[in-house]
Amino acid sequence: MQSFLNYLSADHRRCDELFADAEAAVRRRDWASSAGKFQAFRSAMLHHLDMEENVLFPAFEARTGHAGGPTRVMCNEHVQMRDLLASMADSLAAADEADYAGLAETLLWLMQQHNVKEEQILYPMSDQMLADARSGLIERMAAVAPAL
């Protein structure tokens, strides 16, 4: 049976690869390619955040009996990531490599810190606390519509 840790960590790696592809295209000033690569990354990131916020976090909160704690911290960071993604899209539309690079650096730092907390704390806790519901929850996450 697949774990939350394996399933969602693999998705983190997929998002990281798409991020690197977009960043490389921007560094080359390949604006035509950058737009598509960034959109693929942004869509994957938003999809990942939606899977967590719409499936995993509510199940975790229901099982623990409160909506505070680690899920609140993660959701606050998700808001920051969405804001950075929107600003990055604006920088890309303006072909502003320097602004994009600064925002990308901030997002990379935030994603790295965020992913460590999820992979070392939240996902293992979820695997333990939601073991009896894990397969159904992973199926529900897989069924979340991709972000546009």
Residues 123 and 27: their CA atoms lie apart, in Å, by 34
* pLDDT at 102 (0 to 100): 97
Measuring CA to CA, which residue among 132, 91, 134, 111 is closest to residue 3?
134
Statement: residue 148 has pLDDT above 90: no
- Please, how many CA atoms are within 13 Å of residue 2, restricted to the half-sphere of its CB? 13
pLDDT tens for 23-48 read 999 999 999 999 999 999 999 999 99
Please, what is the end-to-end C-alpha distance for the chain in angstroms? 30
Residue 107: which pLDDT band, with cuts at 50, 70 and 90? very high
Question: Alpha-carbon distance 117 to 136, whole Å?
Answer: 24
Delineate the domains of the chain, giving CATH numbers in brackets: 4-143 (1.20.120.520)
pLDDT of amino acid 66: 84
Q: How far is CA 72 from CA 36, 77, 133, 137, in A?
A: 32, 9, 21, 19
- What are 98-106's contacts with CB under 8 Å, separation 24+? 100/26, 101/23, 101/26, 101/27, 104/19, 104/23, 104/26
**pLDDT over 80 (residue 146):** yes
Mean pLDDT of 98-123: 97
Q: Could you tell me the pTM of the whole model? A: 0.94
